[in-house]
């Protein structure tokens, strides 16, 4: 139905689409890890970089953001838990229950970080072909002993590819519920039951079918890798991402010492 674009590959010929997948994957890991240590200035910078990268990749980012809406519930829960349960008045069993603005701000920054991680993951899956990702993962895992690299890469790849399928299925089930007025039911547990059980059942059946399809189409683990040597400009781009991330983290950790 093409309504749900989140975590789907979006075909294109942009620089990001053509960037070597191994470099892209490493960049994603660097950005995701460094986001955990960034201050608000760096978060603003990386938010801007995300918007710029989405424009370079020519993604329908407004539509993508619309698809991110369901995640807002998840982020809101995290925000509320962080903002309310870490309040000093609650921790000190103070009966006044006054809200500390600092704690609320910290909670907002945590949610901002998580939202950015999600956005970069969406961007990565949008500009990377599943097959290229599988090859890149195999390339990284192959040198490690006792690990069936291709099988693990295939499993990771299928998991990532399965995610949008599950999202699509969940939307289809929601439509089935809505068309029989299930959205009117005032019993949240019952609504959850009619949503979760069919979703699990369909997901398990689908995973069974995928396993059978793999076997039927002669899945092999001994095929040679199709990755080519990454060119210098791809590696330089990776280096630049690492440098910006490093400067952002160092800026955050040095700043307190610069304030006298």
Partner 1 sequence: MIEIQNLHCRYPDGTVAIKGLSLSIANGEFLLICGPNGSGKTTLIRHLNGLFKPSAGTVRIDGLDVSQAGNEVRKRVGMVFQDADSQILGETVREDVSFGPENLGFEKTELHERVTWAMQTLGLLELADKPCHLLSGGEKRRLAIAGVLAMQPQILIFDEPFANLDYSGVRQTLQQIISFHKKGHTVIVTTHDVEKVIVHVDRIAILYEGQLKAHGSPELTVGELAKYRIRPPCYSLLGGKPLSWLAT
10 binds partner 1 (CB under 8 A): yes
192 binds partner 1 (CB under 8 A): no
Residue 44: name the closest of 252, 237, 236 by CA. 252
CA 86 to chain centre: 26
User: Coil, strand or helix: which one is 160?
Assistant: helix
Calpha distance 9→131 (Å, rounded): 11
Nearest distance, CB of residue 12 and partner 1, angstroms: 12
Calpha distance 98→156 (Å, rounded): 46
Among 176, 212, 213, 250, binds partner 1 (CB under 8 A): 176
Q: Which stretch binds partner 1 (CB under 8 A): 99-107, 145-153, 170-178, 247-255?
A: 170-178
Phi then psi dihedrals of residue 187, to 5 deg: -105, 100
Give the binding-site size for partner 1 (rule: CB under 8 A). 29
Among 39, 63, 89, 203, binds partner 1 (CB under 8 A): 63
Cβ closest to partner 1, residue 13 vs residue 98: 13
DSSP 59-70: --HHHHHHHHHH
66 binds partner 1 (CB under 8 A): yes
Cβ closest to partner 1, residue 61 vs residue 139: 61
Cβ closest to partner 1, residue 7 vs residue 173: 173
DSSP 191-258: HHHHHHHHHHHHHHHHHHHHHHHHHHTT--S-PPP---PPPHHHHHHHHHHHHHHHHHHHHHHHHHHH
Binding mask 204-243 for partner 1 (x = CB under 8 A): -x--------------------------------------
Cβ closest to partner 1, residue 33 vs residue 65: 65
Please give the residue ranges that form the binding site for partner 1 (CB under 8 A): 1-3, 5, 10, 60, 63, 66-67, 169, 172-173, 175-185, 194, 197-198, 201-202, 205
């Amino acid at each position: 139905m093409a309504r749900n674009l989140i975590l789907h590959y979006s075909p294109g010929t942009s620089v990001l689409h053509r960037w070597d997948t191994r470099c892209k994957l490493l960049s994603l890991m660097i950005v995701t890890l460094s986001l955990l240590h960034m201050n608000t200035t760096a978060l603003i910078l990386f938010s801007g970089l995300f918007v710029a990268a989405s424009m370079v990749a020519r993604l329908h980012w407004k539509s993508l953001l619309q698809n991110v809406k369901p995640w807002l519930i998840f982020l809101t829960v995290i925000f509320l838990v962080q903002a309310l349960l870490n309040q000093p008045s609650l921790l000190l069993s103070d009966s006044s229950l006054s809200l500390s603005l600092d704690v609320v701000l910290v909670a907002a920054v945590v949610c901002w970080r998580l939202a950015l991680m999600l956005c970069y993951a969406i961007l990565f899956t949008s500009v990377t072909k599943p097959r290229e990702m599988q090859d890149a993962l195999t390339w990284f895992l192959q040198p490690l002993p006792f690990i069936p690299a291709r099988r693990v890469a295939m499993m990771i790849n299928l998991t990532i590819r399965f995610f949008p399928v599950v999202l699509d299925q969940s939307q289809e089930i929601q439509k089935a519920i809505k068309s029989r007025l299930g959205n009117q039911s005032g019993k949240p547990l019952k609504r959850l039951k009619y949503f979760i059980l069919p979703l699990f059942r369909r997901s398990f059946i689908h995973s069974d079918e995928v396993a059978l399809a793999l076997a039927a189409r002669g899945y092999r683990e001994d095929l040679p890798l199709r990755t080519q040597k990454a060119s210098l400009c791809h590696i330089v781009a990776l280096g630049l991402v690492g440098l910006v991330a490093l400067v952002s983290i160092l800026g955050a950790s040095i700043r307190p010492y610069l304030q006298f």
